[in-house]
Amino acid sequence: MKRKRHCEHNHNCHSHHNDNNKDATATMAPNMKSSDYYQILGCPRNADDATLKKAYRKLAVKWHPDKNPDSEEATRNFQKVSEVYATLSDPKKRQMYDQYGEDGVRAAEAGGGPPGGGMPGGFGGFGGGFPGGGGGAQHMSQEEAQQFFASAFGGSDPFGGMFGGMGGMGGGPGIRFSSSAGGGGGDPFASFLGGGGSMRSGMGGSMRQNMGSMRSASTKKEYGVIPRGTIVSLKDLVNKAEYNGDRGVVKQYVPQTKRYVMELEDSEETLSIRPENMLQHVHVTIHDIQSQQELNGQTGTVITWCPNKGRYNIYVSSLKKVVGLKPGNVVLETGVVARVNGLESRPELNGKWGTIKQWIKDSNKYDVQLSGSQIIRVKVENMLL
C-alpha cells in the first residue's frame, strides 16, 4: 500500500513526489481520529491479511511506547491500533465487524450473538468502541497491547530488518532487504558510496582524462556518510511533527546541501532530511552489563534514543523485550556511521561523522575512520548514532 503525503519546504525537510503508477489505495493514510477500523489502519475494506499486518506493524512500530517514552498519545495510539488489528486479523471477528460494526464485535465478545442474530459469539479478544465512535467496551491495556504486538510477529524483529516496498536497494550495516542490488551497474546512487563500477572508453586525449577524473571523484569513499540502504526514522521535526516516527531508507547523500534523500516506507515519497533529524535502526551487541549479565552478548535493534536519560532503547528479539542501555554498553557493528560526541581530549572532532572500523573489546574502544587519512581511537560511549 502506497501512502502519499505532502511536506512543505521548511528548515527540516523537503519533499518530492512521484505520481506514477498510483493505485486505488495510494491516497489512503491512517486516521487515528477515526472510529472506523479500516480508516485507522489506512487500509481498504477489501485489504488482504498481509496488507493489514503490514499496516499494523508500521503503525505499532511508530507509536510503540518504548520508542516514544513519556508520550501518552503514543501509548493510546499503540493500544488503539493493536486493538483494531486484533479484531481484523481474526476471520470471525472481522466478519462480525464488517457485518455489524463495533456493536457486533462487542456482542460476540460478551458471549451473545450479533444484533438481530446470526453468527454465534463467544470468541475471545477485545471489543471495539473508541472515544468519539460510540463505543464503551473494555479496551486493551498497554501490557495487553505489548503482548499482542510481540505475539503477532513471532520470533522476528518488527523494529528492524526487512520491510515491504523497498526492493532494489542494498542493505546498510546489519540490515537485510529482499533485494541485494549492491553498488554498481545501473545504480544511480552507487557513486556516492564508491560503488560506481568501472568506466571504459575508447576515446583519447582530454576526454579520457576527464572521464578518469570523474571516476575518481565518483568512487571517493565518504567515511562520514550514512550508507545507502540504512533503515532510519524521523525525529525532532518541528514544522512537520506528524512525520516524526515515520520510517524509511537512506537513498542518497547530497553533499551540496549536507542532507540525505530518504524514501518513506511503503511509499514513493522522498524527503530531504538533515542527519540530526534521522535515527538509524542498526543492529548492536550488548556488552559489559553488570546488573543483568544474561544480556551480555545479545544482539538487538536500536529503536530510539532518550536524550534526557542518555540511553538507547534496544529491542532484543531473542528475549522479546526492550532494554534501556547507555552508549558504553552498546557496540555498533563494523561499517556503521556514527557521530563523535563528548570527546574532551580533542573537542574539535565533536560533531564529525565517521565509519566504525573495528571494536577493541579489551579497552571497549572503536577505531573510527573520519577520512581517507584520519583514523581515531575513541571510547564506545563517544560515538552516537
Cell of 10: 521548511
What is residue 344's three-state secondary structure? coil
Is residue 376 within 8 Å of 349, Cβ to Cβ?
A: yes
pLDDT of residue 226: 95
DSSP string, 359-384: EETTTTEEEEEEETTEEEEEEGGGEE
Per the DSSP assignment, residues forming a β-bridge with 264 are: 248
Find how far residue 355's CA is from the centre of its chain: 21
pLDDT of residue 371: 93
Is residue 13 within 8 Å of 271, Cβ to Cβ?
A: yes
Q: Which residue has the higher pLDDT, 7 or 179?
A: 7
Sheet with strand 283-286: strands edge to edge:
321-325, 311-316, 299-306, 283-286, 330-332
Which segment of 159-168, 225-234, 266-275, 364-373 scores lowest on mean pLDDT?
A: 159-168
* pLDDT tens figures, 317-360: 888 888 999 999 999 999 999 999 999 999 999 999 999 999 99
Q: Where does the pLDDT of residue 151 fall: very low under 50, low under 70, confident under 90, or very high at 90 and above?
A: confident
Q: Name the strand (E) or helix (H) holding 218.
A: helix 205-218
Total residue length of the chain: 385
Q: Is the pLDDT of residue 224 over 70?
A: yes
Average confidence (pLDDT) over 284-288? 94
pLDDT of residue 182: 34
What is residue 101's three-state secondary structure? helix
Residues 217-245 as b or e (16 or more Cβ within 10 Å = b): eebeebbbbbbbbbbbbbbebeebeebbb
* pLDDT tens figures, 108-117: 666 655 555 4
Among 229, 244, 230, residue whose Cα is nearest residue 282 = 230
Average confidence (pLDDT) over 202-208? 38
Find how far residue 208's CA is from the centre of its chain: 43
Which segment of 125-129, 248-252, 296-300 scores lowest on mean pLDDT?
A: 125-129
Which segment of 33-37, 74-78, 217-221, 356-360 scores lowest on mean pLDDT?
A: 217-221
Q: Where does the pLDDT of residue 196 fall: very low under 50, low under 70, confident under 90, or very high at 90 and above?
A: very low
Q: Name the strand (E) or helix (H) holding 313.
A: strand 311-316
Query: What span, in angstroms and rounded, lies between the C-alpha atoms of 176 and 40?
Result: 29
Query: Model pTM?
Result: 0.64
What is residue 380's three-state secondary structure? helix
Average confidence (pLDDT) over 239-253? 89
